[in-house]
Amino acid sequence: MTSNPISAAENSDLDVLHTAFDTNFTWNYGTQKEGLRALYEKAKTEQWNGAELAWDSPVEPEGDIIPQVFNPLQDYAPYKKLSAKEKARFKHGQLAWTLSQFLHGEQGALMAASQLVTAVPWMDAKYYAATQTVDEARHVEVFDRYLREKLEWEWPINTNLKGLLDLILIDSRWDVKYLGMQILVEGLAMAAFANMYQMCQEPLLKSLVYNAMRDESRHVAFGVLSLRGYYTDMEASELRDREDFLITACELMRDRLVGEDLAEEFGMDRAEVRQVVLESPVMAQFRQFLFMRVVPNVKQLGLLTPRVRSAFENLEIIQFEDINTDNLDRQMGLTVP
């Protein structure tokens, strides 16, 4: 006997999003985009098994997994009034919140990659998007397992991150899915993972993040290779749509990095905490750092137009436009795609 599919009404954890985009068969199985077939071969050889990480390693959720010098609230009066036990719990919550957003972002990437398999119009991209779908499933698996088994604390998705993922998934244009996921979200993930890897003092999490970074580096390259030259002769009205999307998405990426949810859990004022975090030198530097890979890739694609440049200047991220992202990968010990 088969059971009926679970509906959203029956399961509060389900979030139904109505999407529509063209399904593109292609009967040309040859190479149409230079570099994509080699990237696909690389993806096949660099697969890893999340179940083989050192899951038997002990983890102290309230220990010094991330140094507290990076806490933007350390001089905030309500935080300073917390007891030592409450501060340890707060630190635990900060890490759980951050990793939860990684987890939710990876599920969004899983769904976007699966859409690309269907939507992209050439076979090389379908091959690679299929391998990325496997990668993203593995990332969801390992972040979920770490949160459940090691931190025992998982947070809901932040509303700004959800808004960005929804924008990407409901858009019918395959190139906008690339822009949103491969260039923006994956570029953000690469920078966030690099930051986490450098700060992290817990071996299992450090290994997990490093392996995820190896995959994300290829995913960003997938977007750049696929979209290179696509916007060169695009009509002005269509190009303006992409500019609007980039600007809106980057603002959402910036605004999601605050974590007011955690403050509310500890009885702090959301608006006040948001202001403190936004004005924190540590977080200002971190928010800028996250765009280090996004801006140069936008420029590579010819989308750093005067409108986008002005928006990036307002976001104070334009200084990254000439960063060599291959050098960033090499510095992290990653092989350049």
Q: What is the pLDDT of residues 151-190, one digit of tens each?
A: 999 999 988 899 999 999 999 999 999 999 999 999 999 9
Question: Per-residue pLDDT averaged across 71-100, rounded?
Answer: 93
Quick one: pLDDT at residue 30?
A: 85
- Alpha carbons 332 and 292: distance in angstroms, whole number: 14
CATH value at residue 252: 1.10.620.20
The DSSP code sequence of 32-98 is -STTHHHHHHHHHHT---GGGS-TTS---TTSSSS-GGG-TTTT-HHHHTS-HHHHHHHHHHHHHHH
Using one digit for the tens of pLDDT, what is the confidence trace for 203-238? Answer: 999 999 999 999 999 999 999 999 999 999 999 999
Question: Per-residue pLDDT averaged across 65-78, rounded?
Answer: 86
Quick one: pLDDT at residue 3?
A: 45
Q: Which domain holds residue 104?
A: 36-41+75-331
In-domain check, residue 57: no
pTM: 0.92
In-domain check, residue 70: no
In-domain check, residue 66: no
Question: Per-residue pLDDT averaged across 20-48, rounded?
Answer: 92
Quick one: pLDDT at residue 102?
A: 96
What is the residue whose two structure tokens read 């993930």?
189
Using one digit for the tens of pLDDT, what is the confidence trace for 315-326? Answer: 999 999 999 988
Measure Cα distances from 276 to 89, 155, 179, 255, 291 in Å. 20, 21, 31, 13, 21
Q: Which amino acid is at 30?
A: G
pLDDT at 118 over 60: yes
pLDDT at 281 over 90: no
In-domain check, residue 119: yes
In-domain check, residue 246: yes
Instruction: Quote the tokens at residue 215.
Output: 């995959």
In-domain check, residue 18: no
In-domain check, residue 11: no
pLDDT at 251 over 90: no
**Average per-residue pLDDT for the chain:** 91
Cβ-proximal residues to 20 (8 Å cutoff; 6+ apart), any chain = 170, 172
Q: How many domains does the structure of the chain reveal?
A: 1
